[in-house]
A and B are shown apart, each in its own frame.
Chain A
Amino acid sequence: MNTLLEKVRALLGADAVLDPGAAGIAPRIAPPTPEAIALLLRTATEEGWKVRVEGSGSWQPADTPADLALTTRRLDQVEAVEPQDLVGTAQGGVGWDRLRQQLAERSVWVAVDPPGLAGRTLGSIVACGTAGPLRQGLGPVRDHLLGVSAITGDGRVVSSGGRVMKNVAGYDLTRLQAGGFGAFGVIVRVHLRLRALPRADQTLVLEGPREELSRAADDVRESGLQPAALELLSPALARRAGWVLAVRCAGSAAQVEAEEATLRTTAGGRFAPLASEETHAFWQRAAEALTVRPVTLRLGGLPEAADDLLDMLQHQLGDEWISASPALGAIRWSGEATAERLRRLRKTLAAREVPLTLERAPWELRRTVGHFGAYREGVGPLIAGLRHTFDPAGTLVVPVAAGE
């Protein structure tokens, strides 16, 4: 331990050691620059150190066994905001709240509403690919990324994409980083696709039994509306007596007005608008609540099967905290679960061609279940090969699949 710390201090300076650690607790290192991260990871690979990567530590439990914890929290700069081009560049360790605030000052935003606390880092959101309800109308996290720079496990800088809207120069390594859970490197810089802040932003809600709300969601979908979000929230998550179907309309005033008018004729006209001061709190509560329980996972099936998948989740894991985009077949669940139950559920879902991604959980669960699993034939070796390419010595401790 002392040798490790001495080497780290010699490499990066004493300031880089945030916490020297103790018996059983890895020292926490905060390199000040991407170059320092590269240097640290090169050294870790040479020395055989195992490294856990953290952002602000608010999403994944900081319990991954490792020789050192590398936090990106000092890479916290919003490097560029270009409203005229709707492009922004930020470092991986910047907090989501800070990024949003700086963008809002220039009348732009990243149209993503990830689960987690306000200070969760951009790198964490990209690495875990955790989109929220806005995935319905505005797409998953990967659709908002123009480019990513990452430091591989052995300290090489790999930069993909760029600062332009379209880019097919070379292979799309950005897609590999988005949702790769950090297995392919430490995300240090992200070029973001921005949007102008919507002129109008209105959320309407409908409360009731889940089956009824599922039908209402079908009605909204069939009405031709293209809401920014169409989200079904369990009572615990919505903090209501019943399930809630929330429709978020965001865009020009005329567009939102037209969507509200359509909603007034949908589901028996029972959608109720949230007051503007209540809207932000409603969505923020739902996002933050998904970090309260120890396990969070997501499923992605066909829209037609969303109801069945919700039934299956309730049956196998309970219906504690659920946030679902039924029109996409995307479901996020949070609660308590054992490894055995998760493995069984993953197996059942795999038979229906539905992937289960374990987003956050205590280390022991992540280790035994893996973020991913039940791959189709032939995919496992590809993923293993890609991991080896980006982290040849296995320096980065990321349980991509069960038992890693």
Chain B
Amino acid sequence: MTHALEHAGQDPLAVARMDSLVVALESIVGARHVRHTIPERVTYATDGLPTHRRVPGLVVLPGSRDEVIAVIRVLAQRGVPFVPRGAGTGLSGGALAAPDAVLLVLTRLNRILQVDPANRRAVVEPGVVNVRLSAAAAPYGLHYAPDPSSQTACTIGGNVAENAGGPHCLKYGVTSNHVQALEVVLADGRVVELGSPGGEPWGPDLVGLFVGSEGNFGVATRITVHLTPTPRAVRTLLADFTALRAAGAAVSAIIASGVVPAALEMMDRSCINAVEDSVYAAGYPRDAAAVLLVELDGPAETAVEADAHAVAALLTGLGARAVRTAADPRERERLWQGRKKAFGAMGRLSRDLVVQDAVVPRSTLPDVLEAISAIAARHRLVVSNVFHAGDGNLHPNISFDATDLDLKARVEIASGEIMDACIAAGGTITGEHGVGLDKVRYMPLVFDADTLAAMRAVRRVFDPEERVNPGKVVPLHACREWRQVVRAG
């Protein structure tokens, strides 16, 4: 059984251990749910970010919570590192496993266990696709608010791991604002219940700590989330600007006005034209320097209408060339489809796309957008911006061809410079995509050695051997303890 072991440099003992592991895992999940041939494993070598690639040693797809526990216990007994993974739509290389690790794919745990309209909550398995949950809640006038652009594919478990956001998180909050309780399998196979069904923390807020821990603290096998009433009134506005700077300034003005839009998104000209050239064409003005997509919602038509008027007046006063209101739900859906599929539409621009993620104070948006343009020009790159402007959450997208090594190197350098510019503006390196592999190198730019050491120590409380998703989030070389060890050596 050497099919799984075609990695260079493996010794016979490692081969024997791997064969034995395959047998043990197959006895739990069945042979067809353990993927060990190279073509099978290569399928899982990337996530949504094309700049990182790792072929896992094995891929196992448990079909139930009990199978997850049994698999993790086997891995614990043998000291094998593993990486939990949902749909693999992540954008930070967070769900990649190295050849010495097992990839634990959770997409078969896809049952919605309970929709409880009386208490506005649902209990789901981690592999439930985000949009399916809202569909299940819709008959009760409820929905699951976090709506990442990948919501037709990404899973709730992945959303929990990354603390996913989305356009409507401006008003309704990100994933951590909506998770009430978790059943978690720790690295050693122990099962713990965090939080409580009503959402009140049971002791210190371990649910809040777990959400966004990128798989480092264990595997969530049962997730209780809050469901939000679906707004009865909605207005969607599209404002077009002839200057990027003016669009950025309008964002701050809307937020400071006291109106809380449900969503406030921006797309620049490059992005607009990519969308308009695609099947997702939404009727965006091709000659605009930027458009803002503003959505207002609430329980009362009159109030939402009044807020929409106020925002439209504000946008016009701040230089919007035109402000268009979606006339009906169909037009609203079309406007949103263009926004949500913008990343897909950018596939027309080049072979590969790096979707960057950073957050800046909203008032710095105009300056930071100009800085990003300058970085793109300096490195001769095509950068398109489509992002959650109301949160200051930027997504500069760099189109490139990864087979062109010089171009790829320039993308890496430009990505670093974009991060530097955002940090210099008082921002941070990721707002919703996570650190994963891609941003580990930037962590010392935003956290000092003591804080990084504290993060590592917290991780070791949940996973003392650091076997779950190793090498992600915290750069060990930058932690205080590590530095001391190096000095002592």
Contacts and interface: CB of A to CB of B under 8 A. Distances in A.
Interface of A: 82-87, 129, 139, 142-143, 152, 156-160, 162-173, 175-176, 178-180, 183-184, 195-199, 223-226, 251-255, 257-259, 261-262, 298-305, 328-330, 353-355, 357, 372, 375-379, 382-383, 385-386, 389-390, 400-401
A324 to B, nearest CB: 12
A19 to B, nearest CB: 31
B183 to A, nearest CB: 10
B193 A377 contact: yes
B429 A158 contact: no
B454 A375 contact: no
Given A82-B361, A172-B209, A376-B192, 12 more contacts: A86-B255, A156-B454, A164-B427, A168-B163, A170-B473, A254-B307, A259-B303, A261-B300, A301-B200, A303-B119, A379-B203, A390-B454
Residue from A87, A158, A305 having most chain B Cβ neighbours under 10 A? A158
A199 B256 CA distance: 12
A108 B139 CA distance: 38
Interface in B240-256: 252, 255-256
A134 B185 CA distance: 34
Contacts of B102: none
Contacts of B121: 302
A142 B232 CA distance: 28
A390 B232 CA distance: 46
A224 B454 contact: no
A166 B302 contact: no
Interface stretch (B266-274, B326-334, B458-466): B458-466
Interface of B: 118-121, 162-163, 165, 169, 173-174, 176-177, 186, 190-194, 196-206, 208-209, 211-213, 216, 229, 232, 252, 255-260, 298-300, 302-303, 305-307, 310, 359-363, 388, 391-393, 426-435, 439, 443, 446-448, 450-455, 457-459, 461-462, 473-474, 480
Contact of A168 (B162, B229, B457): B162
A166 B256 contact: no
Contacts of B213: 171-172
B147 to A, nearest CB: 14
A164 B428 contact: yes
Contacts of B256: 83-84, 86, 196
Nearest to A255: B303
Residue from B118, B169, B208 having most chain A Cβ neighbours under 10 A? B208
B196 A353 contact: yes
A382 B459 CA distance: 11
A365 to B, nearest CB: 18
A167 B431 contact: yes
A110 to B, nearest CB: 15
B177 A139 contact: yes
A196 B298 CA distance: 18
Contacts of B474: 170
A195 B393 CA distance: 18
Residue from A170, A329, A357, A376 having most chain B Cβ neighbours under 10 A? A170
A184 B204 CA distance: 10
Contact of A172 (B208, B307, B446): B208
A22 to B, nearest CB: 34
Contacts of A303: 118-120, 198
